[in-house]
């Protein structure tokens, strides 16, 4: 009960302090708000990039064409070698007869042409899916080296460019978010520093009357948390309404049907929660830095 | 029965200044002791060591059975709850009322409001300010503000009351009133009082034990002494 009483009292004091040093609090909250809007934007972009990459991964495969003279036993050997790869996810064999039937089904002219030929000019193939699209090039290279393999293709140039761009964007996003979080923590630390100075008499009296150090520090940490959480309100509103409007405006697809956006319900609540947690934690981190540095007990 | 025991204690600050040198001092429970000396004589450092604002560089400072020098930062609160401190500059919180100022310390240690109220009213009654519970510090005279400060120091019934120049900002008549309050706390509650002061009139009139410090060294320790005695000492 005593601990709860102290916590409630400190929470009340922290709230009071936020309003007592209103201009200072507003400055911190504004900085947190701007940072968290950018953090939210980064998370939304990253999540959609990840979603797009995953969709791409579902579709990207390596088509392996086998030499004309590969028999069933040799084909089995090639399949076994492919399954041995670390990046292997699954494979599907399609014989040249199946290819022929499929092609004949799609066009009558093609069907007539293929019927006209004495031998089937098509090749047996194996469609290979890998776990991570980053492994496509390496896996294709390995398969090309297998005996009995004529070619292994996956649309090299395009895929390599997409992977590179996504990789750069992902890393840049992480760096930007981390930098912004550090700047915010520093700003909160500065606000709390000034709060500590403005309450130095109170702190001195608390020390003199035998208040425990943890109880003296607690209001400042809570104040940082409150500033962080208040600073997350506007970014959350922007995330929720902004993303819904954005999603509806583009009908769930960006540029073409190839880039499908994540449904708002699957994204906005979790991003809002993350933003609020980041706000709170960054607030507490910033204030504990100030408390460690400036609150000499 | 000894309440404060200082043995061969020295305090040397980081800048090399020796504030206290090889000091020995014993103060019994319930005693009233003046610590006098010129500016920079070391009396404030001695006072600060009693409530562990400063740690001795050498020797031992025991207060109420607690070895102050060996007390870790996280445990200082245990000592402070046994001590009340009164300063020259009052250190009242301007946005809190008289009642809230006195209750402040008890609230921060998590005491129930129902326990706080009688303690605060008792303390204010003792210093003669029960009628001003709702007033704010700016509405009080210097003497009244100092009395609030004393009420805050004694509200948790400390065993030791430390006063650092409590009359330094007050006129002679108000100083007399404040000394009466402190004397009654000492006599009625049995609280040990250690007071650093420059005020010759008070020291001469009160006829209490007087410890004189000069350059960190105890130069005299006289029962029922006075300032004049020590000027010649």
Judged by CB atoms closer than 8 Å, whether chains meet at B110 and A2 is answered as: yes
Q: What is the pLDDT of residue B194?
A: 95
Judged by CB atoms closer than 8 Å, whether chains meet at B156 and A207 is answered as: no
In this structure, the answer to whether residues A174 and A275 fall within a common structural domain is yes
**Sign of the alpha-carbon torsion through B134, B138, B141, B143:** positive
Looking at beta carbons, which residues of chain B come within 8 Å of A5? 110, 112
Min Cα distance A271 → chain B (Å) is 38
* Residue among B84, B88, B95, B110 with most chain A CBs within 10 A, to mutate: B110
Give φ, ψ of B90 to 5 degrees. Answer: 65, -50
pLDDT digits (tens, 9 = 90+) for A1-40: 778 888 888 888 888 878 877 777 888 888 889 888 988 9
In this structure, the answer to whether residues A173 and A214 fall within a common structural domain is yes
> Which residues of B lie closer than 8 Å to A, measured between beta carbons?
51, 73-74, 76-83, 85, 91, 93, 104-110, 112, 152, 156
The mean of the pLDDT values for chain B is 89
Average pLDDT over residues B195-205: 88
DSSP state of A248: H
Res. B84 pLDDT band, cuts 50 70 90 = very high
Report d(CA B205, CA B195) in Å as an integer. Answer: 14
Residue of A nearest to B83 (CA): A209
Looking at beta carbons, which residues of chain B come within 8 Å of A3? 110
Judged by CB atoms closer than 8 Å, whether chains meet at B78 and A210 is answered as: yes
Q: What angle do CA A209, A211, A212 make, to 5 degrees?
A: 150
In this structure, the answer to whether residues A269 and A193 fall within a common structural domain is yes
Report d(CA B7, CA B10) in Å as an integer. Answer: 9
SS (H, E, C) A118-152: CCCCCCCEEEEEECCHHHHHHHHHHHHCCCCEEEE
User: Which of A2, A208, A215 has the CB atom closest to B80's CB atom?
Assistant: A208
Looking at beta carbons, which residues of chain B come within 8 Å of A212? 74, 77, 109
Report d(CA A251, CA A261) in Å as an integer. Answer: 9
Q: Detail the DSSP E strand segments found in chain A.
A: 62-66, 88-94, 125-130, 149-153, 253-254, 259-260
Report d(CA A124, CA A93) in Å as an integer. Answer: 8
In this structure, the answer to whether residues A109 and A196 fall within a common structural domain is no
Report d(CA A182, CA A289) in Å as an integer. Answer: 12
Residue of B nearest to A296 (CA): B73
Beta-sheet pairing, B32-36 with B192-197: parallel
Looking at beta carbons, which residues of chain B come within 8 Å of A200? none
In this structure, the number of other CB atoms found within 10 A of the CB of residue A147 comes to 10
Last residue of a domain, one of A111, A138, A153: A153
Judged by CB atoms closer than 8 Å, whether chains meet at B110 and A5 is answered as: yes
pLDDT > 90 in chain B, percent = 58
In this structure, the answer to whether residues A144 and A282 fall within a common structural domain is no
Question: Which residues 183-222 of chain A have a CB within 8 Å of chain B?
Answer: 201-202, 204-213, 215-216
* Residue among B78, B109, B137, B157 with most chain A CBs within 10 A, to mutate: B109
Helix pair angle (B98-108, B142-154), 10° resolution: 30
Q: What is the pLDDT of residue A297?
A: 67
- Whichever domain contains A121, its CATH number is 3.30.70.3040
Higher pLDDT: A210 or B233? It is A210
Judged by CB atoms closer than 8 Å, whether chains meet at A212 and B77 is answered as: yes
The answer to whether residues A224 and A283 touch, using CB atoms and an 8 Å cutoff, is yes
In this structure, the answer to whether residues A192 and A52 fall within a common structural domain is yes
Name the residue ranges covered by the structural domains of chain B: 91-157
User: Which of B81, B112, B152 has the CB atom closest to A210's CB atom?
Assistant: B81
Task: Give me the interface pTM, i.e. the ipTM.
Answer: 0.83
In this structure, the answer to whether residues A41 and A186 fall within a common structural domain is yes
Min Cα distance B130 → chain A (Å) is 21
* Residue among A14, A20, A209 with most chain B CBs within 10 A, to mutate: A209
Looking at beta carbons, which residues of chain A come within 8 Å of B108? 6, 9, 206, 209, 211, 215-216
Judged by CB atoms closer than 8 Å, whether chains meet at B105 and A205 is answered as: yes
Question: Domain range holding A80?
Answer: 61-153
Q: What is the pLDDT of residue B159?
A: 92
In this structure, the answer to whether residues A219 and A190 fall within a common structural domain is yes
Tell me the pLDDT of chain A (297 aa) as tens digits.
Answer: 778 888 888 888 888 878 877 777 888 888 889 888 988 988 888 888 888 877 776 777 889 999 988 888 888 999 999 999 988 888 999 988 888 888 888 878 878 887 777 788 888 899 998 888 778 888 988 998 999 999 988 877 776 777 788 788 878 888 888 888 888 788 888 878 887 888 888 888 888 888 888 888 888 899 889 999 999 999 999 999 999 999 999 888 877 776 788 999 989 999 999 999 999 998 898 889 888 888 876
In this structure, the answer to whether residues A275 and A175 fall within a common structural domain is yes
Min Cα distance A19 → chain B (Å) is 14
Last residue of a domain, one of A95, A130, A153: A153
In this structure, the answer to whether residues A117 and A36 fall within a common structural domain is no
Res. B229 pLDDT band, cuts 50 70 90 = very low
Structural domain count, chain A: 2
Report d(CA A91, CA A46) in Å as an integer. Answer: 30
In this structure, the answer to whether residues A35 and A166 fall within a common structural domain is yes
Report d(CA A32, CA A184) in Å as an integer. Answer: 6
Beta-sheet pairing, A259-260 with B192-197: unpaired
In this structure, the answer to whether residues A139 and A164 fall within a common structural domain is no
* Residue among A6, A210, A296 with most chain B CBs within 10 A, to mutate: A210
């Amino acid at each position: 009960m005593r601990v709860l009483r102290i916590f409630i009292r400190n929470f009340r004091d922290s709230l009071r302090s936020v309003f007592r040093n209103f201009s200072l609090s507003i400055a911190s909250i504004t900085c947190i708000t701007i940072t968290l809007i950018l953090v939210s934007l980064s998370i939304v972009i990253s999540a959609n990039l990840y979603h797009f990459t995953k969709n791409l991964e579902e579709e990207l495969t390596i088509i392996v064409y086998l030499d004309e003279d590969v028999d069933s036993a040799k084909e089995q050997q090639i399949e076994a070698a492919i399954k041995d790869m670390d990046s292997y996810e699954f494979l599907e064999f399609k014989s040249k007869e199946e290819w022929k039937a499929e092609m004949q089904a799609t066009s009558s002219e093609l069907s007539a042409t293929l019927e006209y030929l004495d031998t089937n000019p098509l090749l047996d193939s194996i469609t290979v899916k890998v776990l991570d699209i980053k492994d496509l090039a390496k896996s294709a290279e390995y398969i090309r080296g297998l005996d009995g393999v004529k070619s292994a293709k996956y649309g090299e140039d395009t895929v390599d460019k997409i992977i590179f761009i996504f990789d750069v964007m992902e890393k840049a996003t992480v760096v930007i978010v981390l930098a912004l979080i550090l700047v915010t923590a520093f700003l909160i630390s500065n606000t709390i520093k000034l709060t500590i100075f403005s309450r130095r008499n109170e702190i001195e009296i608390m020390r003199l009357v035998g208040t425990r150090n943890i109880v003296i520090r607690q209001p400042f940490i809570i104040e940082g948390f409150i500033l962080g959480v208040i600073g997350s309100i506007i970014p959350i509103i922007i995330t929720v309404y902004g993303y819904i409007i954005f999603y509806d405006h583009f009908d769930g697809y960006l540029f073409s049907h190839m880039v499908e956006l994540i449904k708002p319900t699957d994204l906005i609540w979790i991003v809002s929660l993350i933003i609020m947690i980041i706000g709170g934690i960054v607030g507490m981190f910033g204030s504990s830095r100030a408390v460690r540095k400036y609150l000499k007990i | 029965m000894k309440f404060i025991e200082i043995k061969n204690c020295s305090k040397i600050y980081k800048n090399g200044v020796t504030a206290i040198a090889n000091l020995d001092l014993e103060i019994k429970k319930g005693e009233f002791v003046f610590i006098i000396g010129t500016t920079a004589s070391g009396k404030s450092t001695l006072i600060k060591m009693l409530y562990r604002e400063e740690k001795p560089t050498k020797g031992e400072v025991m207060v109420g059975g607690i070895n102050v020098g060996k007390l870790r930062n996280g445990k200082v609160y245990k000592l402070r709850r046994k001590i009340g401190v009164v300063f020259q500059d009052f250190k009242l919180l301007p946005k809190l009322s008289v009642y809230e100022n006195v209750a402040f310390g008890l609230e921060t240690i998590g005491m129930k409001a129902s326990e706080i109220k009688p303690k605060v009213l008792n303390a204010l009654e003792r210093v003669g300010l029960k009628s001003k519970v709702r007033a704010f510090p700016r509405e009080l005279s210097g003497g009244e503000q100092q009395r609030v400060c004393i009420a805050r120091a004694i509200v948790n019934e400390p065993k030791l009351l430390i006063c650092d120049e409590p009359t330094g900002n007050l006129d002679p008549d108000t100083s007399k009133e404040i000394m009466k309050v402190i004397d009654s706390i000492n006599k009625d509650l049995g609280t040990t009082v250690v007071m650093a002061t420059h005020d010759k009139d008070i020291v001469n009139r009160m006829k209490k034990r007087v410890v004189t410090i000069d350059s960190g060294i105890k130069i005299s320790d006289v029962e029922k002494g006075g300032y004049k005695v020590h000027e010649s000492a």
